Amino acid sequence: MSDPFHRWRFVGILVICMGFTFPFLVGAGGGEPMDRVRDTLESALRILNNPALQGPEKKEARRQEIRKLIAARFTYPEMAARSLDTHWAKLTAVQRREFVDLFGELFERSYSRLVLNSLPDQKIMYTGESVNGKRALVNTILVDKRGDRLPVDYQLQLRNGRWELLDVVIDGVSIVANYQSQFNKIIRTSSYEELVKKMRLKREEEE
């Protein structure tokens, strides 16, 4: 079986909407969900452009700062549960804590590689915000120096008076749904333990 974490695949991936519907559209000027996304991306840019964190020798320090930022803005426990779908209910409390940690590291690496690391060389356009009760979707487009455009959308939920990020949808493909498809395949063909083993190995390879 090929490594399911090796690269991002935009074709042939199961995309799940996860029940998000957005009948109420807010203009591109934005409200609190858009402000949350904007602040997250601007905070990431400050880290990536920080003169004190430049150079190969500062790579790990930059990554640690980005890791802390993303962990603070995204709700890893719910994202991890969604990625396992029905398998989540079968886990013990100890297994859930371990999986949330592994998932968080995997998500951070993917999101950094696919979006954050390229931000210094991209223009970020905030193009729309949709809100339905405690759910929201913020639309952005990344434009590179050649003018190529990449849609990147953010799903959020309101919890305890604060908007939390739940998922990133890149060119129509959800990161969480992509992992859900891969995780389900591994569990079906092997076992949950094999999935965790692969995730641990992937973490060790990239440390």
Mean pLDDT of 73-78: 96
In a domain, 125, yes or no: yes
In a domain, 1, yes or no: no
Total number of domains in the chain: 1
Per-residue pLDDT, 16: 33
In a domain, 8, yes or no: no
Quote the domain boundaries for residue 178.
25-206
In a domain, 18, yes or no: no
Per-residue pLDDT, 207: 65
Is the pLDDT higher at 85 or at 205?
85
In a domain, 201, yes or no: yes
In a domain, 5, yes or no: no
Give the model confidence (pLDDT) of 139-184 as tens digits. 999 999 999 999 999 999 999 889 999 999 999 999 999 999 999 9
In a domain, 20, yes or no: no
CATH at residue 197: 3.10.450.710
Give CA separation, 57 vs 53, 54, 63, 190, in Å.
9, 8, 11, 40
Is the pLDDT higher at 122 or at 18?
122
Per-residue pLDDT, 69: 95
Rounded Cα gap, residues 53 and 59, in angstroms: 7
Is the CB of residue 78 less than 8 Å from the CB of residue 166? yes
Q: What is the mean pLDDT of the chain?
A: 86
Per-residue pLDDT, 25: 38
Is the CB of residue 175 less than 8 Å from the CB of residue 161? no
Confidence label for 202 from pLDDT (cuts 50, 70 and 90): confident
Q: Quote the pTM value.
A: 0.82
Per-residue pLDDT, 11: 34
Per-residue pLDDT, 31: 62
Instruction: Give the whole-number percent of the chain exceeding pLDDT 90.
Output: 80
Asked if pLDDT for residue 1 goes beyond 50, the answer is: no
Confidence label for 39 from pLDDT (cuts 50, 70 and 90): very high
Lateral strand order in the sheet of 149-159: 25-26, 123-132, 135-143, 149-159, 162-170, 173-174
Confidence label for 204 from pLDDT (cuts 50, 70 and 90): confident
In a domain, 12, yes or no: no
